[in-house]
Structure 1
Amino acid sequence: MSIRTYTTRPLVALRQYPFDLAVVSVAAIVAYAIVATASSGSALRLAVTLPLALFLPGYALTALLFPGTETRAATRAARPVQWSGIDVVERLAISFALSLTVVPIVVLVLPITGWGLGAEPIAATLGGITVVAAQLGVVRRLRLSRADRFTVSPVSALERRRESGPTVTLSTIVLGGAIVFAIGALLFGLLAPTSAGGYSELGLYTEDDDTGDLVTGDLPAEIAPGETASVTVGLENQEGAHTEYTVVVQQQILDDGEVTDRTELDRLEASVPDGETVTTETAVAPTPNVELEEPVRVGFLLFEGEPPNDPTADDAVVDTYFWTTVTEDALEDE
């Protein structure tokens, strides 16, 4: 008899395992798997990213914080109860709020770890938080009596509403309206066409002498007369379509903040598929008419297709620049 009781306990525990937390855990794992394998920008990847970022972590944390169901007034009168439950609308609202709190924290923490900031590390972290919090929520929920546990059961919900009457609190109405508004605003932002239609990014890099990696913030501040400085230009295409780019490299002389002279130093062309980044190099060489110790701004103007005859920063899709000085001191530093 004792052996039979021992062998049936795992089955009993399995039957008591909360259905909603099982679904949340499996959904988080599946969402990470799709993010890790699906191509960037695919509809399937977007479809699983939304619940993973906006709902699943918060729901699991809510289950951990509030394992009980909504406490009824009759129950409170009958015996002392430790409050650990909320109603369904409050649970959904808190789930969205906690998810929107967790995601920025993850985005801030990941860059200082070895994982870096990317779609897969973010999905893995959010999925891990969801699964761990859900399992801890299972433990807390199963420690409560059946009557006090929160369960996802339409029949139980109808019975509770029948016993408590058709009253609806103002907080429930406000929370329900807030959820509907938030979801509607999110869907509008995702589905409504925008005037920008996407974006392109332009970055400047140099090669680290020790590691050979491309780094930012180490652009040449000094160039010797007649010498060149190698600069790597990075182009990222998020326009939603394959795009042909042209980068115009200019030597710019300024007076009181206004460009008074422009000289084209180079012109780079690149064909970039949607969602990808390419790099190309240019050798920056100020013209001989630049005086020694005179600060020169080297501008990089990005255009889609062919640039105009007299390209300026106002015409460019995006532009960037760095300052350098033509000096003989650069020869001594080499």
Structure 2
Amino acid sequence: MSHGTSTLTRFGAVRNYPADLAAVSIGAAVAYAIVTSFQEGSGLRLLVTFPLALFLPGYALVSVLFPATARNVQDATSTSVDTRPRGIDVVERLGLSVALSLTIVPIVALVLPVTQLGFTTVSTAATLALVTIVLAQMGVVRRLRTPETERFTVSPVASLTRLRGDETGITLSSAVLVLAVGLAVGALLVGFLAPVSTGGFTELALYGENEDGELVAGEVDSAIEPGESVPMTVSVDNQEGEETEYTVVVQQQRIEDGEIVERTQLEEFGTTLADNTTETSDVNVTPTLEDGESVRISVLLYQGDPPAEPTNENAEEDTFVWVTTEESTDE
């Protein structure tokens, strides 16, 4: 009397270990090692991220759910009672692998933040690799418990023969599935390889010293004596994603009825900043004011050279402070 589970002996299991699930397990482990060993932005790291996130976990899960291969038409009609495990063809298996992977990844992303591991690149890669390997081993057990004649196996020659045969051509549903999966994967690849530019940003800030000598935003002296200079610190923060040249223009602006009636340039200087760096520059400007008069000191920031007529409207960033001269008390 023979049993379908006779292949579960020690040597039989090793001899019949599915090559595709072995490759999936090894691939997941290698992908994890590369993701955690190479620096962010590495081409190899990006390359192995795709199968780890978009294919391997789903393929392992499909192997658990469908250990048997698909039946052809003759097998389906030869018996009235179906005692065979339900199987799917190669095209459906590949399509479901991507679809289930796209289901597993969001679940991992939702669970990790509430654990001690946190939601990081390392923890995500480790979790996906672990899930893939565990599911693959479960798939091995399921497949080896399936009768050998009904078991799904990876055989390129047999697959080509089936595809060329008249009795088992690719169905319309399989073709639509492949097309949908291809479009989804293509969109994801475009998103990863050519992400929409966020444009970066630059921050401009104006600081002054408080009584303790510390730089504080907005603490620029607003009341001065006639002819007195105004000390200020200009801060430029480059988050543009690349090295950028800047020009800072400091203007005195006289405003009447909400309109700028006169502009006087007090200072101009340039600087070049690497990405993700901040530079502060100490500036002393001396407004030309009458007693009791108020003017606006505007700091205008440009990438590269400024235009012939710098204004608050054409500046990349701008900030300002009002300065007023105190009326003279001399007799």
Q: TM-score range by the shorter chain?
A: 0.5 to 0.7
Distance 1:170 1:224, change over 3 A: same
Distance 1:148 1:180, change over 3 A: same
Give the TM-score normalised by structure 2. Answer: 0.61
Residue aligned with 2:113, SS: helix
Task: Provide the rounded CA distance (Å) in 2 between the counterparts of 1:93 and 1:144.
Answer: 22
Residue pairs, 1:232-243, within 5 angstroms:
236=239, 238=241, 243=243
Structure 2 residue 166 is matched with structure 1 residue 176: no
Distance 1:123 1:225, change over 3 A: same
Q: Is the 8 A contact 1:301 1:313 kept in 2?
A: no
Distance 1:75 1:203, change over 3 A: farther
Q: Which of these two proteins has the greater Rg computed from alpha carbons? A: 2
Task: Provide the rounded CA distance (Å) in 1 between the counterparts of 2:219 and 2:307.
Answer: 31
User: Any unmatched runs of 5+ in structure 2?
Assistant: 1-7, 205-215, 223-234, 251-257, 261-268, 283-298, 320-331
Q: Which amino acid aligns with 1:23?
A: A
Deviations 1:77-110 (A, max 9, x none): 4342254311111111111111222223333333
Q: Is the 8 A contact 1:202 1:320 kept in 2?
A: no
Structure 2 residue 143 is matched with structure 1 residue 141: yes
Task: Provide the rounded CA distance (Å) in 1 between the counterparts of 2:302 and 2:122.
Answer: 30
Aligned to 1:105: 107
Task: Provide the rounded CA distance (Å) in 1 between the counterparts of 2:63 and 2:91.
Answer: 13
Residue pairs, 1:269-308, within 5 angstroms:
271-272=273-274, 277-278=276-277
Q: Which amino acid aligns with 1:91?
A: R
User: Any unmatched runs of 5+ in structure 1?
Assistant: 1-7, 205-219, 251-257, 261-266, 284-298, 322-334
Aligned to 2:291: none
Structure 2 residue 71 is matched with structure 1 residue 71: yes
Task: Provide the rounded CA distance (Å) in 2 between the counterparts of 1:49 and 1:140.
Answer: 28
Task: Provide the rounded CA distance (Å) in 1 between the counterparts of 2:11 and 2:100.
Answer: 33
Deviations 1:34-93 (A, max 9, x none): 111222212211111111121111111211222221134425643422543111111111
- RMSD of aligned alpha carbons: 5.1
Residue aligned with 1:117, SS: coil
Structure 2 residue 121 is matched with structure 1 residue 88: no
Q: Which moved more, 1:180-189 or 1:82-91?
A: 180-189
Distance 1:87 1:302, change over 3 A: farther
Give the TM-score normalised by structure 1. Answer: 0.60
Residue pairs, 1:112-131, within 5 angstroms:
112-131=114-133
Task: Provide the rounded CA distance (Å) in 2 between the counterparts of 1:106 and 1:29.
Answer: 17
Distance 1:80 1:247, change over 3 A: farther
Q: Is the 8 A contact 1:36 1:120 kept in 2?
A: yes
Q: Is the 8 A contact 1:64 1:140 kept in 2?
A: yes
